[in-house]
Amino acid sequence: MSLEWKGIILVSLSDGSGLGDASVNSIVAGLCTSPRGCSSVCATCRVRLYAVCSALGEDDISDLERLAAHVELSPRTSLFQAGDLARFVYTVTSGTLRLQRDLADGRRQVIGFAIPGDFIGLSLDETYRFSADALTTASLCRFDRKDFTSLSHVRQSLLERLHLAATHELTIAQDHMVVLGRRKAEERVAAFLLRWRERLGRINGRSATVSLPMSRQDMADHLGLTIETVSRTMARWMRDRIILDVPGGIRVLDQQRLSAILPD
Amino acid sequence: MSLEWKGIILVSLSDGSGLGDASVNSIVAGLCTSPRGCSSVCATCRVRLYAVCSALGEDDISDLERLAAHVELSPRTSLFQAGDLARFVYTVTSGTLRLQRDLADGRRQVIGFAIPGDFIGLSLDETYRFSADALTTASLCRFDRKDFTSLSHVRQSLLERLHLAATHELTIAQDHMVVLGRRKAEERVAAFLLRWRERLGRINGRSATVSLPMSRQDMADHLGLTIETVSRTMARWMRDRIILDVPGGIRVLDQQRLSAILPD
DNA sequence: ACCCTCGTTTGATCCTGATCAAGGCCATGG
DNA sequence: CCATGGCCTTGATCAGGATCAAACGAGGGT
């Protein structure tokens, strides 16, 4: 199977994301022979302390850096498709991606959304079990899966951090099972908004304004609902002044009532 | 919080499970000072090659064995409850357990079922996020969580195997999200039967007869359905000669048609 | 300005699976 | 022997959310 990188911009666009020249450097990191020169990339990385990379200190980070390639995606482009040969693993450094599985008849399940600091590509299989698509402009650190695995054998702290990430993902997945299996429509939407806000808060700082880079359809496919149900639910909350419609997201006006929708 | 071990039989009952005297020895494994004496326990363990223990060879297994305590549960007894202090991790050696989360208003989500070889207790939290209850008589190897973690720092292969288990669990959880989010009632039941059969086949050998130690209610709570829907669906399949009712389970008569229910 | 398109909202109706209710089966114990 | 209770099955009815349908509104292109 050929690995086509549809829509990937391999050269950083200096789009004001703050990475700027560092991103350009990172593209050639795999070829970089100067330890001093390479270290500037991870040194300026905004997610370094949240991502699996945090496992490695100043002294060891260059081992990882040598393996890293920088990837930029434009909105609506695919990082990989379910079934593709799983050659790479990724750390998201900016933007939001959608992870989904598709059934033969067109039904979709959005497994989750990946945001800065998230690790993508945990898999036992030789192929990816889901597709990953950029919802916004997104940048990622790309590692060859084999190299990354090898390094994790040498630097045990990296393996520990990887295991932590997997366990964390598992917890999230199990939480979501409860939502999908036993929550009513309104509760599902509330659960999503509250958790999404919480997640964003952990990287951006807590805010009443919650950006929603995904479409209503994406939310519906994540929550096992239809787009109409999601739309109606949120419209009702807007009438009730629980949330406010803002461009690119919503603002939580009444956290109390929103939380109260979710019996726990 | 006090740790009450409701219903746990600490002494093996020699119930014909094949562990017999070895189980009795394992209870005192934590105190055992003779390497020769202790090693007999893991040496005769039927799940050793499937479980996380497989990470350790003949030479290192005694390290793990020294930490192990053997636990037996009678049917309908609890191993731990959601919210309990997570002091231990477990490997199932025989029997079936039900893992579930409960909502305040009585709704339940069965996260999954644990069978021989499965590892229970992966968690970031200080407390368990779900309850674990025995459906049948069950035996488990119990490890102090701290000790187990420490050992995994020393014996890297154990950490690797643990990470493998977590990743495997994650894959299963994500598969189940698709079932809960996008499958119709009939497809959910079919998906469950087929996967359960597959799982049992991996440890017992493939068979048309599938034992179902869980109740209809458990299946319903696993699949996000009601007991009536599960019952009606299986009753229809029995009329259609797709499956046959046998005590304690079912027999698959027509694998073809059962698989065909699941568009993939 | 116009029309497209795409995502979203809103309304009307339908249907799958939930809920309510009753009865069957079988093990246990008096 | 029958009473009890747990679990399962089956039937009747209901309703939450899906489906069908139409209109809206914000870009973007001509």
Closest residue on chain A to B263 (Cα):
A104
- Tell me the mean pLDDT in the region B237-248: 96
Please give the Cα distance from A136 to A154 (Å, whole number): 35
Write down the pLDDT at residue B63. 85
User: Length of chain A in residues, anyone?
Assistant: 264
φ, ψ for residue B100, nearest 5 deg: -145, 155
A229 touches strand D (CB under 7 A): yes
Copy the structure tokens of residue A63.
Answer: 């081992």
Write down the pLDDT at residue A40. 47
Tell me the longest C-alpha to C-alpha distance in chain A: 60
Please give the Cα distance from B110 to A65 (Å, whole number): 42
Contact across the interface for A101 and B159, Cβ inside 8 Å: no
Beta bridge partner(s), residue B140: B71, B92
Pair type for strands B97-102 and B249-252:
unpaired
B22-31, B75-84, B150-159: the lowest-pLDDT one: B22-31
B211 touches strand D (CB under 7 A): no
Which amino acid is present at A252?
A: V
Write down the pLDDT at residue B5. 36
What's the gap in Å between the CA of B173 and the closest CA on chain A? 6
Contact across the interface for B174 and A111, Cβ inside 8 Å: yes
Closest residue on chain A to B149 (Cα):
A160
Å separating the CA of residue B247 from the C1' of nucleotide C25: 13
B240 touches strand D (CB under 7 A): no
Question: Which three-class secondary structure state does DSSP give residue A9?
Answer: strand
Write down the pLDDT at residue B31. 41
Write down the pLDDT at residue B59. 84
Å separating the CA of residue A131 from the C1' of nucleotide D24: 33
Closest residue on chain A to B220 (Cα):
A181
Nucleotides of C under 7 A from a protein CB: 7-12, 16-21
Please give the Cα distance from B140 to B147 (Å, whole number): 17
Write down the pLDDT at residue B163. 96
- Choose which CATH entry (2.40.50.140, 3.30.1490.480, 1.20.950.20, 2.60.120.10) describes domain A8-172: 2.60.120.10
- Tell me the mean pLDDT in the region B159-177: 97
Write down the pLDDT at residue B58. 85
Residues of A in contact with B261 (CB under 8 A): none
B63 touches strand D (CB under 7 A): no
A180 touches strand D (CB under 7 A): no
Domain edges within chain B: 8-172, 184-260
Give the nearest nucleotide to B223, CA to C1': C17
Pairs of residues, one from chain A and one from chain B, whose beta carbons lie less than 8 Å apart: 114
Name the residue with tokens 């997104």.
Answer: A138
CA angle, corner B239, sides to B235 and B244, nearest 5? 75
Please give the Cα distance from B133 to B100 (Å, whole number): 8
A200 touches strand D (CB under 7 A): no
Measured CB to CB, residues of chain B less than 8 Å from chain A are: 101, 103-105, 107-109, 111, 122-125, 129-130, 153, 156, 159-160, 162-164, 166-171, 173-178, 180-182, 221-224, 263-264
B246 touches strand D (CB under 7 A): no
DSSP annotation of A107:
-
Across the interface, of A104, A109, A167, the residue whose CB is closest to B264 is A104
Residues of A in contact with B174 (CB under 8 A): 101, 111, 129-130, 173
Write down the pLDDT at residue B79. 97
Please tell me the pTM assigned to this model: 0.87
Protein residue closest via CA to C1' of C8: A231
Contacts of B76 (CB under 8 A, 6+ apart): B7, B133, B134, B135
Closest residue on chain A to B100 (Cα):
A178
Buried/exposed B210-223: b ≥16 CB within 10 Å, e otherwise? bbbbbebebbbbbb
Residues of B in contact with A163 (CB under 8 A): 159, 162-163, 166
Query: What kind and span of H or E run contains B202?
Result: helix B185-204
Residues of chain A with pLDDT under 70: 1-40
Give the nearest nucleotide to B235, CA to C1': D9
Residue B112 has pLDDT above 50, yes or no: yes
Please give the Cα distance from A26 to A93 (Å, whole number): 12
Across the interface, of A163, A178, A263, the residue whose CB is closest to B162 is A163
- CATH, domain range A184-260: 1.10.10.10
Q: How confident is the model at residue B35 (pLDDT cuts 50, 70, 90)?
A: very low
Nucleotides of D under 7 A from a protein CB: 7-12, 16-21
